[in-house]
Amino acid sequence: MLTDSSTEIDLVRKKSLRDEVFDLLHQRIVAGKYSPGEWLRQEDISTQIGVSQTPVREALDLLVSVGLAERVPYRGVHVPELTNHDIIDAYVLRLILESVAARLAALNASQESIKDIYDLVERTKSLVTLEDMSHHRQLNKTFHLAIAEASSVFLLGKIHEMVSNVFPDWRLYEYLFRHPELLETSLDREYQEHKTIIDAIAAHDPDRASEKATHHIQNLGKELVEYLGISTELLHQKEGQINYIIRP
């Protein structure tokens, strides 16, 4: 136990500063201010924002842990460069995992978990501006992970977290920064789809929960095509290979 109050305060400040730097870098990546492949130099960032290198290093570690950055041994940290095949592979795995997670959550989720997920959905409803996108993305990620964890299959949550770290949703948010006229429609649709998923889970309807989760991820697939130029043909080909898994 810590007995030195000044030490406790320093730790709180340190954590807060790390999180502030993380939020700033997160926002820059989502806004497209750092391009795929661009190096995030610890020393440069420290100088730019006027903090020591320690919170910057810790913030970079967090970015790596959530999939917004990639660490290359002996070289540093950069924004990931994903090939179209990388993106499609992550999309296909998301389809499988989200379908299974929603089905199992409908069977196993506790009332407390369901309430917490409803709360997450409602917290995103008011996040409708470009400045909200970093926070919105984090809540979106938490929503999907919470469903996986509500499945009561411990490893499913771990696997889901690994796959979602690769899925390039940050690039979809980046596109919205460049096309703000799409923001309101896109976020409203996401809110409504999240609501239908948790409604089905709360009704303990596994078939409907799986169907709604699949539909939601397939709509993200359409955005991958429209926003990122992913091949429709290749996407549909991969979807066809797993239809027997994701169909109720």
Question: Within 10 Å of residue 239's Cβ, how many Cβ atoms?
Answer: 18
Residue 3 pLDDT: 42
Residue 23 pLDDT: 85
Q: How far is CA 218 from CA 92, 197, 209, in A?
A: 9, 14, 14
Residue 248 pLDDT: 60
Residue 5 pLDDT: 45
Residue 202 pLDDT: 98
Q: Is 142 helix (H, G, I), strand (E, B) or coil?
A: helix
In tens digits, what is the pLDDT along the chain, a chain of 248 residues? 344 444 433 443 555 889 899 988 987 887 778 888 899 999 999 999 999 999 999 999 988 887 788 999 989 999 988 888 888 998 999 999 999 999 999 999 999 999 999 999 999 999 988 888 878 888 998 999 999 999 999 889 888 887 887 787 878 888 888 899 999 999 999 999 999 999 999 999 999 999 999 999 999 999 999 998 999 999 999 888 888 777 66
Strands 70-72 and 76-78: antiparallel
Q: 25 near 66, Cβ under 8 Å?
A: no
Q: Is 163 helix (H, G, I), strand (E, B) or coil?
A: helix
What domains are there in the chain, each with its CATH number? 5-78 (1.10.10.10), 84-246 (1.20.120.530)
